[in-house]
Amino acid sequence: MLYWLHEILHINILGYITIRAGIAFFLALILTLVLMPIFIKWAQKTSSVQPINTWAPERHKGKAKTPTMGGIVFIGATIFASLLTIKLSNVYAIGAILTLVLFTLIGFQDDYAKIRKNQNLAGLKARTKLAFQILSALFIASFLYISADFNTELYVPFVKTALFDMGIFAIILWVLVIISTSNAVNLTDGLDGLATVPSMAALISFSIIIYITGHVKISAYLLMPNFNVGEVAIVTSALIGALAGFLWYNSHPAEVFMGDSGSLTLGAFLGYSAIISKSEILLLLIGSIFVIETLSVILQVGSFKLRKKRIFLMAPIHHHFEMKHWPENKIIVRFWIIAVLSNLVALISLKIR
């Protein structure tokens, strides 16, 4: 709508991506801050609370009555703010909205199943959830490949030119990126605010990279690829604002959890952001915390199956530190520090090519 005002009424200031991104940020922030308390009261009345796994550390039992599915609120605020501020004819911005909608639906189905059953996190069957994720990611990847004037070259950090053109095989990589990132954020979301701040840090990095990628002069100066993806920076900005509002209630001790509605969607959107900014490999650094959490699970499962021995006291790795009796706040803040530092290194890499 704001871009329409720019074109019809010639309000030039609304033509700037940075201005509309700022408006989207504050609109999503305010909406989340206002709507979240209403949602929390509703969730408490309807017993829409977080089921706790019997294998989780003992102190998690105190979180059993905490409302979940908060992701519906901040993702909803993001979509609303984005639709008011983006240029609706931009294919990449529409792809971003589609990513948010599709994975929120998957997450909501999983959350609803858990709440209804209330049986130690018994939500959707793993195969069913993965099938939905694959279909959604395949749809998004194919949408990009067919609808957008988008090249399929693979770029790596610190290298000036693309390694090679993936062609139609890019769809396979993009599906893997979206699914793996979606599940990685889901694994990380185990402590109050643990996934929220690293997600915000990653989104800030992607906002900058996407804006640069969509800017002809800056992308040329930094020897980066150039595509008309700048509008997506407005969506990322809206999501950052919405997450800031969510963190107000999700910080320790959490009044609400994001649930799979939030974590699966956040991860999928980060994967989408990496794809359109040609940062599929850089995502490993930008999402370092999510990578570490996922690797800890893979190593733990692999070690137990092959050697019948555990590497960590419990996986994902944040539970390992809980078992070592680290205070929850200390684990959370230290993970936040790692996330911020890794994102700073990722942004520095843009200049070193």
pLDDT band at 120 (very low <50, low <70, confident <90, very high): very low
pLDDT over threshold 50, residue 221: yes
pLDDT at 95: 96
pLDDT over threshold 90, residue 291: yes
Q: What is the mean pLDDT of residues 263-276?
A: 97
Residues 128 and 232: their CA atoms lie apart, in Å, by: 30
The DSSP bridge pattern shows strands 153-154 and 164-165 to be antiparallel
pLDDT at 56: 61
pLDDT at 119: 47
DSSP H or E stretch at residue 321: helix 317-323
158-162, 185-189, 207-211, 335-339: the lowest-pLDDT one: 158-162
pTM comes to 0.93
Residues 16 and 252: their CA atoms lie apart, in Å, by: 37
Q: What is the mean pLDDT of residues 307-311?
A: 88
pLDDT over threshold 80, residue 239: yes
Name the nearest CA neighbour of 225 among 213, 234, 207, 242. 213
Query: Strand (E) positions, 15-158?
Result: 153-154
Q: What is the mean pLDDT of the chain?
A: 90
Reduced to 3 DSSP states, what percent helix, strand and coil does the chain have, rounded to the nearest 5?
70, 0, 30
